[in-house]
Amino acid sequence: MTSVADWAEPNPVTENRSGVIGKGVDRYEGALKVSGTAPYAYDTVAPSPPAIGVLVTASIPRGRVTSVDVAAAEAAPGVQLVWSHLNAPKQAPRGARANPRSQRASNPALASDRVEYFGQTIAFVVADTFENARAAADLVKVEYAPEPAVVDFLASFDQATLPPDEEDVHIGDFPGAYGAAPVTIDETYFSPLQNHVQMEPCATVAWWEGDKVTVHTSIQMVKGGQHALAETLAIPSTDVHLLTRYIGGGFGGKGQPYDDLILSALAARALGRPVKVAYTRQQMFHGTIHRPAVSMRVRLGAEPNGRLTAFAVEAVTHCARAATFTEHAANFSRNLYAAPNRLTGHRLVRMDLPHAGPMRAPGEAPGMLSLECAMDELAEKLGLDPIELRIRNEPDIDPETGKPFSIRQLVRCMTEGAQRFGWERRNPVPGQVRDGRWMVGMGMAAAIRGNFLLPAKAGVRIDADGTITLRQGMTDIGTGTYTILAQITAETMGVPLSQVKVEIGDSDFPPAPGSGGQFGAATAGSAAFEAGMNLRRALTELAVGDPNSPLYGGPAEYVTFENGVIAIENRSETLAALVARAAPDGVYVEGSIAPAADARDYSQHTYGAHFAEVGVNMVTGEVRMRKMFGVFAAGRILNAKTAKSQITGGMIWGVGTALTESNAVDPRFGSFVAQDMAEYLAPVHADIVDLDAMFLDEADDKANPMGIKGVGELGIAGAGAAIANAIYNATGVRLRDYPMTPDKVLAGLMAKGL
Amino acid sequence: MRPFTYERATDAQAAVKAVAENPGARFLAGGTNLLDLMKLEIEAPTHLVDVGRLPFAGIEETDEGGLRIGGAMTNARLAAHPKVRERYPVLTRAILAGASGQLRNKATTAGNLLQRTRCDYFYDTTKPCNKRQPGSGCSALGGPTGYGAIFGASEACIATHTSDMAVAMTALDASVETMTPDGGVRTIKVEALHLLPEATPQVETQLAAGELITAVVLPPPPLGGQAYAKVRDRASYAHGLAMVAVAGGRVAFGAVAHKPWRAAQAEAALAAGASPAEAAAAEMAGADADDRRTHKIALVRRLAAATIEDAGSAR
């Protein structure tokens, strides 16, 4: 097995001779996207005109469907089928896994009369047009036998239990040390239920050819979608061809398949014609996953000099009864600050709400909103600068596991950020700085997010014209995956970017785990790199073994690849010439990557520091951003432009987290109040002012052969806490209930007599 | 969406007749509100009469020294008009505080006034709502959010009218001119156009079926300063939590009632020499809300005092 030591050797990517690694090159698919010609799933042109399916969803949170009257819907113009649990095709039971290696189990739609959450699909209508399908869907009349439902999280803490297979982590003697600490903080923070609000709703176009189904869908994990559909339909996964080439935002919400995938495939089979199905904007809120609310209690005990002696982060969160998911909001805190006595853990309330699941840095995003404010509160109590407090608690080794860090530049992120942001302008006494009716303040927070590598493969071929094509069952959810795969391939092969093609999002291609958890670039990229290295070996062999090549006879160890030319010192030819002559059908090889055997011997994370300046309107309590800046250490950066776009995108979600994003559960109905993007308030352009970020030079040689890490989640981790701390610095009002909307801020101002 | 027929009106009187005589017919202008509601089947007209291309898109001076704004003029053009910017800055500011650039390019003056009131439960067709289904009940009452009326609400409805433009027009003492089905012309003050919900929240204006707003008439600008302020959860593209328009001695609030709310008590207090804070308090003495909306009373009071003050210094 590989060891991290094997990755320390220089290689084409780390040497970066052409300089394309790290360069802010334009997005590979950018022109297609901005011109509206990138075919997203719903845009896919099927072999024949598709019928259109529309979902009918439940309007109660729990109970049974007692009757479904489909007569009017079936008689409506253009209607081709109407399904409910009474007549839907048989599917494998939920959770079934006929093939134990399937990455996802069966996920049937319309499987029974049970209603488990508001917005669950309970019927399905297919018609010749979208308009007819939607009109007919409205004619399906459903009756229910409702049952009592638990939907009020804050009123249900008595039902909280340990998540499955999980124990609290105790290190040292937290209660003793906390009780003895001269300075303590004990506060509870609340992060509300949030929705992903991807621009592109879930959508699938499906058609069959014999026993094989082709689906164009919008999903972050190619294999997960392929396997789920195969398991649900009880067919071999080789009979499912899944494509997901362009994805209009995932944010974790498209890590799993939904009913559009299953029902389009079933209906296409039943009707013998292509069928396409998309969720409506309203259906996305309940029918797909959300981030659950989290209540977090933080207790800190410190010496007067700021050294933490006791440290506890405990999170209570919720999930659906039938779909276990834990928002691991305390996990990040296990690796962040030194403290000898520690307690971290989670509790889970199972409720009758739609399914909770991963969303934009699951764990860190809500979790850091607690500890990173508690540290601010502790700093003030101790009379220390918040950065200094963090530096005094900087660990030498991982504070929980005792393992060495692969590399840790958190302190540099904070100090470099402070300098560039102008942290010295901050008045440590809150409520002192005014600009007309605006109270102005600054805050900071640390960022941390784990890094890991998953197994992946990639295939690369070179054709007789010298074009190099990378193929991988990977996805690009808008992050820049296409682009960085092209850069890695170009640099590995020593060819210009214009000579590289990237084809991803296809289940026929060598598998990669997809996009999520900021493992995508490192995982898919490392496999692409390994494939490229294998192609170099194959082409070297081809050249030195070909009597017609100037490289004939070697020595192979001196072969170089640069500018599309393969050479041994002054003997050279173009790759195109070599392939056209010696392998006119092209050369195709694959490569793979897997975690190193000793990868877990290191504590490996990405880090950052957020700085925010806000104005708080003294009259209205409105909070507006004035400036936001972040410094991040995330391994070697592959593309300055896409990485910065991704990390500042995360920071913008942090603005949403701190100021606007929340969906209220109406306990009378078990449903979410906001069901469109006018009511669910994600930040808009006008909310974002003077936003910038930078990356520290870094290469983590314990991470993978290229020393890269991910930036997908890091930008949001801690961002909202920096804003909350800035609100406190501006006003002296400490809010612990996110988001910090004008009503809450104003109540705080008024309580202070302002 | 239910099937419907569509005609593009070329003659105003014929358009009025077409809608007046067909209970399922509705006027269509910019469509920025109606089409959304049709997709959700909250509105289900059987026939649309498109009045967006009738010759009511201009702006002209009135003999009295005011402006007559065509009902079909877009919000974007109205806000940008030099005469409006110069003489009625409160109106320009109000319009630009509303919706988004794309919506303002489509939305019309008359359509903006006639947008439906805003409420999450009006849009959620799985819930009871007296506006959608009279008699079914009000789901917003007792709901978990703090949006809703603090003036003139009823047990049947606590929805608010959230047009920014209408608040400024109310403060400017504007009137609408309509064409009535009998061929007449009617003039209605903007502040009287919309109704309080009482027991029939589904009836939002005093317009008769088929009555078409052809223009909004602004009287000459009042003496004194003008100011507009809007509080919202994010910096753009959000319904107001509260709006205040001040034009001379006139004051109007938005997002506090089923209609743009003329703050008559505040005006009377100002006329009697009260301070901005006293005037605001005088109006808010008449506000009423349940626990979830009490914060709005303080918010509007503070916003009104500050905006009256700003108008004074803008004089």
Q: Is the pLDDT of residue B116 over 70?
A: yes
- Model confidence band, residue B3 (pLDDT cutoffs 50, 70, 90): confident
Whether A490 contacts A13, CB under 8 Å: no
Residues of A in contact with B237 (CB under 8 A): 678, 684, 686
| pLDDT surpassing 90 at residue B10 | yes
Question: Residue B293 above 90 pLDDT?
Answer: no
Rounded-to-integer distance, Cα B96 and Cα B165, Å: 9
Q: What dotted CATH number matches A41-148+196-287?
A: 3.30.365.10
Q: Can you give the C-alpha Rg of chain A in angstroms?
A: 27
One fold for A4-38+456-594 and A41-148+196-287: yes
* pLDDT on residue A297: 98
- Radius of gyration over every alpha carbon of chain B, rounded to an integer in angstroms: 19
Q: What pLDDT does residue B145 have?
A: 86
Burial of A624 (0-12, 13-18, 19+ CB in 10 A): middle
Q: Say yes or no for a CB contact (<8 Å) between A750 and B233.
A: no
Is the predicted pLDDT of residue B220 greater than 90, yes or no? yes
Interface check A683 vs B, CB under 8 A? yes
User: In chain A, what are the domain boundaries?
Assistant: 4-38+456-594, 41-148+196-287
Cross-chain CB nearest to A619 (options B40, B142, B306): B306
A503 catalytic, yes or no?
no
- Between 3.40.109.10, 3.30.365.10, 3.40.50.12280, 3.30.70.2190, what CATH number should domain A4-38+456-594 receive? 3.30.365.10
Residue A376 CA, chain-centre distance (Å), reads: 27
pLDDT digits (tens, 9 = 90+) for A639-663: 999 999 999 999 999 999 999 999 9
CA A28 – CA A31 distance, rounded (Å) = 8
Q: Transcribe A626-688 into DSSP letters.
A: EEEEEEEE-BB-SBHHHHHHHHHHHHHHHHHHHHT----EETTTTEES--STTTS----GGG-
User: Nearest to residue A181, comparing CAs of A290, A54, A71, A304?
Assistant: A304
Q: Is A142 on the interface with B (CB under 8 A)?
A: no
Instruction: Evaluate whether B105 touches B76 at the Cβ level (below 8 Å).
Output: yes
Residues of chain A with pLDDT under 50: none
pLDDT at A554: 85
pLDDT at B147: 87
Confidence of residue B2 (pLDDT cuts 50, 70, 90): confident
What pTM value is reported for the model?
0.97
- Structure confidence at residue A68 (pLDDT): 98
Residue B135, chain A, CB below 8 Å: the answer is: no
A232: which 2 tokens? 């649900």
* Chain B residues lying within 8 Å of A746, measured CB to CB: 295, 298-299, 302
Report residue B315's pLDDT band, with 50, 70 and 90 as the boundaries: low
Q: What percent of chain B has pLDDT over 70?
A: 99
Q: Which residues contact A547 (CB under 8 A, 6 or more apart)?
A: none
| List of chain A residues whose C-beta atoms are within 8 Å of the C-beta of residue B3 | 77, 131, 135
Residues of chain B above pLDDT 90, percent: 94
CB nearest B234 (choices: A660, A666, A667): A660
Q: Sign of torsion, CA B152 B157 B159 B161?
A: negative
Q: What is the pLDDT of residues B225-250, one digit of tens each?
A: 999 999 999 999 999 999 999 999 99
A-chain residue closest to B294, CA distance: A743
